[in-house]
A and B are shown apart, each in its own frame.
Chain A
Amino acid sequence: MVTLALTDSELRQRAWDAAATVVDPEIPVLSIADLGVLREVSVKDGRVEVAITPTYSGCPAMTMITLEIELALERVGIPDADVRTVLAPAWTTDWMSEEGRQKLKAYGIAPPLPASGRRALFGAQKVACPQCGSVDTEVLSEFGSTSCKALWRCKSCREPFDYFKCH
Chain B
Amino acid sequence: MASASIQIGDDPLFLCALRRADDALILGHRLSEWCGHAPMLEEDMALANIALDLLGQARELYSYAAKVEGRGNDEDRLAYLRDERQYRNLLLLEQPNGDFARTMVRQLFYSAFADPYWRAMMNSSDPTLAAIAAKSEKESAYHLRHSSEWIIRLGDGTAESHRRAQEAIEHLWAFTGEMFEADAGERGLIDAGIAIDPASLREQWQSTVSAVLTEATLTQPTNPWMQQGGRGGRHSEHLGHLLAELQYTQRAFPGLTW
Contact = CB atoms under 8 A, between A and B. Distances in A.
Interface of A is mostly: loop
B55 interface: yes
Interface in B95-145: 127-128, 130-132, 134-136, 138-139, 141-142, 144-145
Contacts of A122: 145, 148-149
Contacts of A151: 42
Interface in B48-65: 48-50, 52-57, 59-60
Contacts of B128: 87
Interface residues of B, number: 33
Interface string A108-143: 000000000011011100000000000000001111
A69 B251 CA distance: 34
B146 interface: yes
Contacts of A147: 49, 52-53
Nearest to A55: B135
A142 B135 contact: no
Nearest to A90: B134
A87 B53 contact: no
Contacts of B138: 90, 92, 118, 167
A55 B160 CA distance: 39
B142 A142 contact: yes
B244 interface: no
Contact of A60 (B50, B52, B127, B130): B52
Contact of B52 (A58, A87, A119, A142): A58
A92 B50 CA distance: 18
Contacts of A12: none
Contacts of B45: 141, 143-145
Interface string A66-105: 0000000000000000000001111110000000000000
28 contacts: A54-B56, A56-B139, A57-B53, A57-B55, A57-B56, A57-B60, A57-B135, A57-B136, A58-B56, A59-B56, A87-B128, A87-B131, A87-B132, A87-B134, A88-B127, A89-B134, A118-B141, A119-B141, A121-B208, A142-B142, A142-B146, A143-B42, A143-B48, A143-B49, A144-B45, A144-B49, A147-B49, A165-B142
